[in-house]
């Protein structure tokens, strides 16, 4: 069982700069060939004025801070038994090459379900203008309890 006093715990802000080739590499890895990522002309003519990252690239920039949770010495999670249960991304605006994304992550819930412990984690990502781009909500399950 994980002490419920950690509900609300925040982790240090992470920073990630969106790279054009990196976001294209991610798109290729999920077999997404949308011209919105790859074709400069399509990007320029779009309402975004440039290419945008595939939405699920949030898996990279918004979940960076998860390592801080997984290896938090206070929580001492049994990483070998940890599995990703659920994931939700809410996208408020697209991210583009050169955007510098800062993300704040926190524990929003700790619960016991059967033999398992479940941690709910939420991360909010903002761009360099201070606009929220993505909210990520994840649950991680410690099989057999921590």
Partner 1 sequence: MAVAFDDVKVGDEIPSFSIQLDQMMLWMYSGASGDFNPIHNDKEFGEKVGLGGTIAHGLSSMGRMQKTVVDWIEDPGKLKKLKVRFAAPARPGDTVTFKGKVIDKKEEDGKKLVVLEVGAETQDGVQVLTKGEAVVQL
Count of chain residues binding partner 1 (CB under 8 A): 35
- Cβ atoms 107, 119 nearer than 8 A: yes
**Site stretch for partner 1 (CB under 8 A), options 2-10, 48-56, 97-105, 107-115:** 48-56
Is 109 a binding residue for partner 1 by CB under 8 A? The answer is: no
Calpha distance 96→94 (Å, rounded): 7
Calpha distance 16→97 (Å, rounded): 11
Is 59 a binding residue for partner 1 by CB under 8 A? The answer is: yes
- Hey, what are 87's tokens? 């994931």
Reading phi first (left if > 0) and then psi (alpha if -120 to 50, else beta), residue 71 is in: alpha
Calpha distance 26→83 (Å, rounded): 22
Complex with partner 1: residue 54 or 126, whichever CB lies closer: 54
> What does the per-residue mask of binding to partner 1 show for 67-86, with x meaning CB under 8 A?
-------------x--xxxx
Binding site for partner 1 (CB under 8 A): 22, 25-26, 28-32, 34, 36-37, 46-48, 52, 54-56, 59-60, 63, 80, 83-94, 137
């Amino acid at each position: 069982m994980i002490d419920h006093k950690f509900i609300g715990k925040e982790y240090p802000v992470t920073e990630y700069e969106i790279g054009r080739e990196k976001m294209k590499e991610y798109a290729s890895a999920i077999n997404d060939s949308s011209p919105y990522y790859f074709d400069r002309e399509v990007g320029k003519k779009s309402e975004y004025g440039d290419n945008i990252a595939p939405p699920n690239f949030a898996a990279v920039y918004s979940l960076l801070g998860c390592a801080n949770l997984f290896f938090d010495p206070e929580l001492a999670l049994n990483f070998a038994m940890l599995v990703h249960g659920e994931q939700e991304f809410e996208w408020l605006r697209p991210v583009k090459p050169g955007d510098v994304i800062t993300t704040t992550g926190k524990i929003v819930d700790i619960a016991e379900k059967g033999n398992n412990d479940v941690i709910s984690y939420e991360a909010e990502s903002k761009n360099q203008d201070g606009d929220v781009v993505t909210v990520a909500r994840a649950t991680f399950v410690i099989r057999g309890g921590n």
